[in-house]
Amino acid sequence: MAEFLLLFRGAASGHGPKLSPEEMQAQMQRWMQWLGDLTKEEKMLGAQPLEGTGKVLKGTQKVLVDGPFAEGKEIVGGYLLCKAENMEEAIAISKGCPILEHDQGSVEVRPVGKM
Protein backbone atom coordinates (compact mmCIF):
# COMPACT_ATOMS: atom_id res chain seq x y z
CA MET A 1 0.00 0.00 0.00
CA ALA A 2 1.10 3.51 -0.78
CA GLU A 3 0.00 6.80 0.78
CA PHE A 4 -1.69 9.58 -1.19
CA LEU A 5 -2.61 13.12 -0.23
CA LEU A 6 -5.89 14.44 -1.62
CA LEU A 7 -5.96 18.25 -1.60
CA PHE A 8 -9.40 19.85 -1.79
CA ARG A 9 -9.40 23.14 -3.66
CA GLY A 10 -12.09 25.77 -4.05
CA ALA A 11 -15.16 24.95 -1.97
CA ALA A 12 -13.99 26.54 1.29
CA SER A 13 -13.43 29.83 -0.53
CA GLY A 14 -17.03 30.00 -1.74
CA HIS A 15 -15.99 29.11 -5.29
CA GLY A 16 -18.83 27.56 -7.25
CA PRO A 17 -22.59 27.90 -6.98
CA LYS A 18 -24.24 29.09 -3.77
CA LEU A 19 -26.13 26.31 -2.00
CA SER A 20 -29.26 26.65 0.09
CA PRO A 21 -29.03 25.73 3.79
CA GLU A 22 -30.75 22.41 3.00
CA GLU A 23 -28.29 21.68 0.18
CA MET A 24 -25.36 22.56 2.45
CA GLN A 25 -26.65 20.18 5.13
CA ALA A 26 -27.12 17.40 2.56
CA GLN A 27 -23.61 18.11 1.25
CA MET A 28 -22.16 17.81 4.77
CA GLN A 29 -23.96 14.49 5.23
CA ARG A 30 -22.41 13.22 1.98
CA TRP A 31 -18.95 14.30 3.26
CA MET A 32 -19.52 12.44 6.54
CA GLN A 33 -20.74 9.33 4.69
CA TRP A 34 -17.77 9.37 2.30
CA LEU A 35 -15.25 9.85 5.11
CA GLY A 36 -17.01 7.23 7.25
CA ASP A 37 -16.90 4.71 4.41
CA LEU A 38 -13.17 5.33 3.88
CA THR A 39 -12.59 4.88 7.62
CA LYS A 40 -14.48 1.56 7.63
CA GLU A 41 -12.45 0.40 4.61
CA GLU A 42 -9.29 1.40 6.51
CA LYS A 43 -8.25 3.68 3.64
CA MET A 44 -8.32 7.00 5.50
CA LEU A 45 -5.26 7.91 7.57
CA GLY A 46 -6.37 11.44 8.42
CA ALA A 47 -8.38 14.39 7.13
CA GLN A 48 -9.00 17.98 8.21
CA PRO A 49 -10.39 21.21 6.82
CA LEU A 50 -7.95 24.13 6.69
CA GLU A 51 -8.65 27.66 7.89
CA GLY A 52 -8.56 30.39 5.25
CA THR A 53 -5.86 32.36 7.05
CA GLY A 54 -2.21 31.63 7.62
CA LYS A 55 1.34 32.87 7.19
CA VAL A 56 3.98 32.18 4.56
CA LEU A 57 7.69 32.03 5.38
CA LYS A 58 9.89 32.95 2.39
CA GLY A 59 13.48 33.03 1.33
CA THR A 60 16.87 32.93 2.98
CA GLN A 61 15.93 35.90 5.17
CA LYS A 62 12.92 33.90 6.41
CA VAL A 63 10.53 36.78 5.77
CA LEU A 64 7.08 36.15 7.26
CA VAL A 65 4.13 37.46 5.24
CA ASP A 66 0.37 37.12 5.42
CA GLY A 67 -1.08 34.45 3.19
CA PRO A 68 -1.66 32.22 1.49
CA PHE A 69 -3.18 34.38 -1.21
CA ALA A 70 -4.45 32.66 -4.31
CA GLU A 71 -7.38 32.92 -6.63
CA GLY A 72 -10.48 31.57 -4.83
CA LYS A 73 -10.73 28.40 -6.88
CA GLU A 74 -7.08 27.59 -6.11
CA ILE A 75 -7.25 27.88 -2.31
CA VAL A 76 -6.62 24.59 -0.50
CA GLY A 77 -9.57 24.16 1.84
CA GLY A 78 -8.64 20.79 3.31
CA TYR A 79 -6.88 17.50 2.83
CA LEU A 80 -7.24 13.76 3.23
CA LEU A 81 -4.35 11.36 3.69
CA CYS A 82 -5.29 7.90 2.44
CA LYS A 83 -3.74 4.61 1.51
CA ALA A 84 -4.28 2.90 -1.81
CA GLU A 85 -2.61 0.22 -3.91
CA ASN A 86 -1.67 2.71 -6.65
CA MET A 87 -2.53 6.05 -8.27
CA GLU A 88 -5.51 4.54 -10.07
CA GLU A 89 -7.09 3.43 -6.79
CA ALA A 90 -6.36 6.84 -5.20
CA ILE A 91 -8.08 8.53 -8.14
CA ALA A 92 -11.06 6.17 -7.76
CA ILE A 93 -11.24 7.15 -4.07
CA SER A 94 -11.14 10.86 -4.98
CA LYS A 95 -14.01 10.47 -7.45
CA GLY A 96 -16.33 9.89 -4.49
CA CYS A 97 -15.47 13.28 -2.96
CA PRO A 98 -18.51 15.52 -2.50
CA ILE A 99 -16.49 18.61 -3.49
CA LEU A 100 -16.91 17.46 -7.09
CA GLU A 101 -20.69 17.85 -6.88
CA HIS A 102 -22.20 21.14 -8.04
CA ASP A 103 -18.86 22.18 -9.63
CA GLN A 104 -17.66 23.38 -6.22
CA GLY A 105 -13.98 22.57 -6.48
CA SER A 106 -11.35 20.04 -7.39
CA VAL A 107 -9.33 17.25 -5.85
CA GLU A 108 -5.57 17.10 -6.42
CA VAL A 109 -4.20 13.57 -5.94
CA ARG A 110 -0.52 13.40 -4.94
CA PRO A 111 1.55 10.35 -4.02
CA VAL A 112 3.41 10.76 -0.74
CA GLY A 113 7.14 10.20 -1.28
CA LYS A 114 9.34 7.90 0.77
CA MET A 115 12.07 9.37 2.98
Model confidence pLDDT, tens digit, residues 75-90:
888 999 999 999 999 9
User: Has residue 60 got a pLDDT over 70?
Assistant: yes
Nearest to 47 by CA among 39, 58, 55: 39
How many structural domains is the chain composed of?
1
Q: Residue 68, preceding bond cis, omega within 30 degrees?
A: yes
List alpha helices for the chain, DSSP H.
Answer: 21-40, 87-94
Query: CATH number for the domain including 79?
Result: 3.30.70.1060
Domain containing 67 equals: 2-111
The tens digit of pLDDT for each residue in 21-55 reads: 998 899 999 999 999 999 999 999 999 999 878 88
pTM equals 0.84
